[in-house]
Amino acid sequence: MPSPSAPCPIPLRIVACGQHLPSRVVTAEEIDARLSIAPGWTERHTGVARRHYASTETSAQLGAAAVRNMIEPLGASFTMPDLLLGASGTPQQPIPCNAALIAAELGWHGIPCFDVNATCLSFIVALQVASGLIAAGHACRIVIVCAEVASKGLNWNQHEAAGLIGDGAAAVLIDRDESGDSMLLNAKMETWPEGVALTEIRGGGSRMPAMEHRQGENTEDFLFHMDGPAVFRLAAEKMGPFVDRLVSANADRWSAIDWVIPHQASLPAIRHLRRRLGIPAGKLIETIQHQGNVIAASMPLALNEAIRSGRLQRGQTVLFLGTSAGFSLGGALLRF
């Protein structure tokens, strides 16, 4: 069992957020029809009424559009970042990294680019990486981009997983907060490899290269696989103690947290998480109903929605919380 880690507050400010969703909207009714299942099944089991699918847009194009939408309101106050950090679970291609492809779309030259990939927890991990670089003085301003086109790899024989996923991108600009008012209060990730095979795409890497794909024989090895019930059980077992270690085990811990932004895994999973952890319903940010599970982009998309709607205000505390393939749990406590 991992031992509790001491908080590691780092002066860090989220300056701006932006997002971009593909224009194609796919309803739950369309998913039901494609799967030849009873009307209402998809929304009832996933909570997703509609989601967006990329048509011709690439992951880099979605990410670049999110960055432009983030920059536009800043106007002349925007200065180029020291680093462009890609944080996605569905890279556009194996090489080069998504960040470099996004930089090419933006026409940004000379700015270092690299990716982190912790699937659905990539935003939290990117936030940790960025905070460490800022704290060490290696960077002052960093753009994190989560761009996902997951619809291309869905296995339509797995109804629930196929009905969950959406495409989209979100961008977040962070910098060092000299005032000390905004900060990353704590962040934590744990991996429990007994769940390593529960969520995976087996093909496309060095173990099963793309050239070994045989249409009709091993196609499902190259598509998204998730054992939803098993993931749910493992998350239910591990999440409570994980949150105790991340935040505290005190009964009144939610009084010090203004908002909780969970990974938008599925609506039943979010609601179960709320009940199991005792999170007050009014503190939970949900976007899954109209965006679906957008992998790593889910949390920054929900963050952007919380800011844009006026719910999240400066000085408030927000907890990011989720799970990812591996099986991993992750969380970050931020004073906005």
Catalytic residues: 120, 263, 293
The CA-atom distances, in angstroms, between 210 and each of 60, 90, 126, 156, 222 are 21, 16, 28, 20, 8
- Rounded to whole angstroms, how far apart are CA atoms 217 and 183? 51
Instruction: Identify any residues that bridge with 173 across adjacent strands, giving them in sequence order.
Output: 16, 143
Q: How many alpha carbons lie under 13 Å from residue 3 in its C-beta half-sphere?
A: 1
Please state whether beta strands 199-200 and 50-53 pair in parallel, antiparallel, or not at all (unpaired).
unpaired
- Rounded to whole angstroms, how far apart are CA atoms 32 and 36? 6
**96 upstream amide cis, omega within 30 of 0:** yes
User: Which residues, 6+ apart, have CB-to-CB distance to 299 below 8 Å?
Assistant: 123, 124, 146, 261, 262, 263, 264, 320, 322
Instruction: Enter the tokens of residue 9.
Output: 């507050």
**78 upstream amide cis, omega within 30 of 0:** no
**Closest C-alpha among 92, 106, 109, 215 to residue 171:** 106
Instruction: Enter the tokens of residue 27.
Output: 């309803």
